Amino acid sequence: MTIAGNDRIDLQAAADQLGVHYQTAYRWVRSGKLRADLVGGRYLITREALDAVDADRRSPIAPPPPRPKRVATSASRMHDALVSGDERTARTIVRTLLSEGTPITGVVQQVIVPPLVRIGRAWRDGKLTIWVEHRASAIVERILGEIAPNPRGRRRGTVVIAAVSGDHHSLPTSMAAVTLRADNWHVEHLGADMPPGELLQFCAEHDVDVAVISSTNPDTAELAAQTARRLEKAGTPCVLGAPGRTLDDLVAGVRTAAAA
């Protein structure tokens, strides 16, 4: 029933319009799913509240992300694809997981990184040639470039990402860039082998909230640490990466640095 002089209807009329039983509509009111006002012992619902519930019921429900076992299997398949140079299969694995609801960080951290670590160890043990590792890294670089997100909404801030002079590993900086873009940061990705002075100048000339320095080469670890200290002294909060740190650690560190 529509209340005279008002655009609100009672709960029975709302249930009828939504095509559900009165008790179902009542449970939705009690749970907060259906907004209603209690007036004179009756629940009254506005057209706006009715439309909101109706739209929510019509929206497609996202499927749950793949189970851990499925993700582990995908990592194994990714390893085989990267070793054999099967870029098409590697792309398909990533795209399928993303379409099924796996977050980008999860895909990178659980499906891409473990095979790369495994391939790197096999090369050091003499079980794979260097070109296998280089080809695998190149494939991953291209995939990361394709899946780099451009999320909607206001950005958290601006992050610059680089590795210092002598550290030629660009893949970790690419992974960091994709991860932080997914966390809704504007990312300035400067890549590997960046002279510290140039990085400091960039931060001085741009509105940078946090600097991220990737550090994967033990020979340049001290230079990376010195650069981080110089950035901090100049007023730019810095997050210094290191082997063993996860992408989740990176996201938490950048958020903390920006809030400090």
Give me the CATH number covering residue 234: 3.40.50.280
Note down pLDDT in tens along the chain; length 260 residues: 444 445 788 889 888 888 888 888 888 888 888 888 888 888 899 888 888 888 777 766 655 666 778 888 999 999 999 999 999 999 999 999 988 888 899 999 999 999 999 999 999 999 999 999 999 999 999 999 998 887 777 889 999 999 999 999 899 999 999 999 999 999 999 999 999 999 999 999 999 999 999 998 899 999 999 999 999 999 999 999 987 889 999 999 999 999 98
Asked if 114 and 216 sit in the same domain, the reply is no
Looking at the domain assignment, is residue 224 inside a domain? yes
- Pick the last residue of a domain from 147, 173, 207: 147
Looking at the domain assignment, is residue 2 inside a domain? no
pLDDT at 63: 59
Asked if 125 and 169 sit in the same domain, the reply is no
- Pick the last residue of a domain from 42, 58, 74: 58
Q: How many distinct structural domains can be found in the chain?
A: 3
Asked if 175 and 77 sit in the same domain, the reply is no
Asked if 36 and 93 sit in the same domain, the reply is no
Structural domain boundaries, residue 53: 9-58
Looking at the domain assignment, is residue 3 inside a domain? no
pLDDT at 236: 96
Asked if 111 and 97 sit in the same domain, the reply is yes
3-state secondary structure the chain: CECCCCCCEEHHHHHHHHCCCHHHHHHHHHHCCCCCEEECCEEEECHHHHHHHHHHHHCCCCCCCCCHHHHHHHHHHHHHHHHHCCHHHHHHHHHHHHHCCCCHHHHHHHHHHHHHHHHHHHHHCCCCCHHHHHHHHHHHHHHHHHHCCCCCCCCCCEEEEEEECCCCCCHHHHHHHHHHHHCCCEEEEEEEEECHHHHHHHHHHCCCCEEEEECCCHHHHHHHHHHHHHHHHCCCCEEECCCCCCHHHHHHHHHHHHHC
pLDDT at 5: 44
CATH number, domain with residue 30: 1.10.1660.10
pLDDT at 157: 94
Asked if 70 and 172 sit in the same domain, the reply is no
- Pick the last residue of a domain from 147, 178, 211: 147
CATH number, domain with residue 134: 1.10.1240.10
